[in-house]
Amino acid sequence: MSVVHSAPRRAPGRPQPTRSPLRVVPAARPRSPRAPFVLLVVTLLAGGLVGLLLLNTSMQNGAFQLAELEKEAETLQSRHAQLSLEVEERATPAALAERAAELGMVPNTTPVFLRLSDGKVVGDPEPAARGESPSGVGGPSPAAVGARE
């Protein structure tokens, strides 16, 4: 037992050859494949390019459409102006009087009034006669009388 026990023991303080502490070495990282990234970038670039192209095209189209519509609006506007001028010309007192005279209408020179308070007719009702009083139709043009020089 003593022998066993006297089995030489390492004397304390005696240097021992040092062993570096063991660590777990991480497994070699698997290399990520390059292809998807390239694909992504290319897709992005291509998408951007195509988008830009589409945007540009649509804007060009828009510009042409704008120009066309503006032109159309202008045409319609001028047509509107032309038509309103015609309306204005037909609505002038001179045109209306002429038209009324053509229809055989004559001006009433002796108007009478119905007084609402007592229901009395004020004035003597008389049928208007044709060509009795100057209706304004016919006669000299205002631009053709007087000392013009």
Partner 1 sequence: MSPAVRNRARFCFVVVATLLVIFAGRLFQIQGVDANAYAERALKETVQPTVLHADRGRILDRDGEPLATSLDAQSIIANPRFTAKPATEIASILAAELGVDYFDTVTKLRREGTQFVYVARKVPAYQASSAMAKLADAGLLNGVTTERDAVRTYPGGTLGATLIGLVSGETGEGTSGLEKAFDDDLTGSDGKATYETSPKGVRIPLARQTMKEAVPGADVVTTIDRDLQWYADKRLAAAVRASDSDWGVAITVDLETMQVLQLSQLPTFDAEDRSTVTPASMNNRAVQNVYEPGSVQKVVTMAALADAGLVTPQTKVRVPSELRLDGFTISDWWDHGRLRLTAAGVVAKSSNLGTIALAQQMDDATMHDYLTKFGFGQPTGVGLSSESRGILTPAERWSRAQHATISFGQGISVTAMQQTAAVAAIANGGRYTSPTLVTEVRRADGTTVPRKAPESREVVSPEAASMVTTMMEAVTSPRGSAPNVSIPGYRVAGKTGTAWRVNPDTGRYVRGENTVSFIGFAPAEKPRFLTYVVLDNPQGGGSGSGTAGPVFRDIMQQSLQRYGIAPSGSRAPRTPVKW
What residue ranges bind partner 1 (CB under 8 A)? Answer: 59-60, 62-64, 66-67, 74-75, 77-79, 81-82, 85, 88-89, 91-94, 97, 108-111, 113, 115, 122-124, 133-134, 136, 139-149
Inter-CA distances, 140 with 1, 97, 144, Å = 162, 15, 7
- Cα separation, 139 vs 146, whole angstroms: 14
- Cβ closer to partner 1: 15 or 93? 93
- Cβ closer to partner 1: 19 or 115? 115
- Cα separation, 148 vs 142, whole angstroms: 11
Phi/psi of residue 80, nearest 5 degrees: -60, -45
Q: What's the closest the beta carbon of residue 77 comes to partner 1, in angstroms?
A: 6
- Cβ closer to partner 1: 37 or 64? 64
Q: What's the closest the beta carbon of residue 54 comes to partner 1, in angstroms?
A: 14
Q: Which of 130, 135, 132, 137 is nearest to 94 (CA)?
A: 137
- Cβ closer to partner 1: 36 or 134? 134
Q: What's the closest the beta carbon of residue 98 comes to partner 1, in angstroms?
A: 11
**Other C-beta atoms lying within 10 Å of the C-beta of residue 53:** 10
